[in-house]
Amino acid sequence: MTLQQLMYVVAVAKHRNFSVAAEKCFVTQPTLSMQIQKLEDELGMEIFDRRHTPIEVTAQGRAIVQQAQAVLAEADRLKALAKEEIDQVAPEIRVGVIPTLGSSLIPRLVSGMKHEFPDTRLIIEERQTRDVITSLKAGELDLGLVVTPLDDDSLIAEPLFLEAFYLYIHDQHPLAQKKSIDRQQLQLRELWLLSEGHCFREQAMSLCSDRKRVQDDQRPLFESGSLETLRKMVDQTGGYTLLPELSIEDLPSASRKNIRSITAPAPAREVSLVHHQTYRRRATIDAVSRAIVRSLPSHLVEGRKLKKINLPLS
């Protein structure tokens, strides 16, 4: 068994095609196929079901592919430790960020890193929380910007700040007459939500007093993956939605009149920089963290009366 064979296995599992996998690995298809066959013979099992198009991973093969990804990730980390100094900022940093943080944190991160480390290349991808976690474990990402806590002992979370939730409400809604709104007054049937898979969706729903009573056919029929789209739905059709604090900064002045605070202690989410426990680039972690925190409004990193919402991943 060799690392090369494991790399071929992972490539075929990803592309589900021997020819494409061989091209991505810069080898001929016969070479790749022969090496995978040798590994299957050694293990005494079939990793791939070749009768299907595209290729499918067998039930037994799934565990092999998963372990191969872990072994390759650890091998890459070994190479990185041998080639680079832990106390130096990495020349390339792969960062995953959840969509509800992307528009507010990515510009801050890029600006801060460009100023202090102009030669460092940032590769930033928007992904949902579970995808960020999976990619950190597989070594496909170095760092993640997510909402914590996470129920995973293999990841280390370094909290950056608490971000409060605000209500964006239609100006003709009865609650719009109030400056601050009690969370007990929020009704799920009037709340526009992010689509399934976004942790911010569950956090928003948890604030509604009628969450357990509302049936599926009474809830909004439209759910979006964009906070901006939800805000426009409020403007056009009524009701309200929740916005994280930093996203309010980008609102046009005409829309800020629709913002209402939630009665103290205001609900909030903890935003953290997360990395796998095997990621040793301390200088890189500190540099990314510093670039973000230094760019934040001072009130976000100071003590406030906020109530952090801890929810399982959705």
Q: Which two tokens stand for residue 89?
A: 């900022």
Neighbouring-strand partners of residue 174: none
E strands, 132-210, where? 143-148, 155-169, 180-181, 193-194
Q: Which two tokens stand for residue 297?
A: 């409004």
Question: How far is Cα 171 from Cα 240, in angstroms, rounded to an integer?
Answer: 10
What residue ranges define each of the domains in the chain, with the CATH number in brackets? 3-83 (1.10.10.10), 92-161+270-308 (3.40.190.10), 163-267 (3.40.190.10)
Share of the chain above pLDDT 90, in %: 44
Backbone dihedral angles phi then psi of residue 76, each to the nearest 5 degrees: -65, -40
CA angle 134, 109, 199 (to 5 degrees): 40
Question: How far is Cα 283 from Cα 27, in angstroms, rounded to an integer?
Answer: 37
What would the pLDDT profile of 219-228 be if each residue is shown by its tens digit?
A: 554 555 678 8
Neighbouring-strand partners of residue 135: none
What would the pLDDT profile of 247-281 be if each residue is shown by its tens digit?
A: 888 788 888 898 998 887 778 889 999 999 989 88
pLDDT band at 304 (very low <50, low <70, confident <90, very high): low
Q: What is the pLDDT of residue 302?
A: 67
What are the DSSP calls for 204-261, one per residue? HHHT-TTTTT--GGGS-S-EES-HHHHHHHHHHH--EEEEEHHHHTTS-HHHHTTEEE
Q: What is the pLDDT of residue 312?
A: 44
Q: Which amino acid is at 214?
A: V
List helix spans (H) across the chain: 3-15, 18-24, 29-43, 59-83, 99-116, 129-138, 199-206, 227-237, 245-248, 253-256, 282-293
pTM: 0.67
Question: How far is Cα 187 from Cα 300, in angstroms, rounded to an integer?
Answer: 28
Q: Is there a contact between 169 and 243 (Cβ–Cβ < 8 Å)?
A: no
Position 314 pLDDT exceeds 70: no
Name which of 26, 28, 15, 88 is nearest 55 in CA terms.
Answer: 15
Position 30 pLDDT exceeds 80: yes
pLDDT band at 38 (very low <50, low <70, confident <90, very high): very high
Q: Is there a contact between 146 and 168 (Cβ–Cβ < 8 Å)?
A: no
What would the pLDDT profile of 101-143 be if each residue is shown by its tens digit?
A: 888 899 999 999 999 999 999 999 999 899 999 999 989 999 9
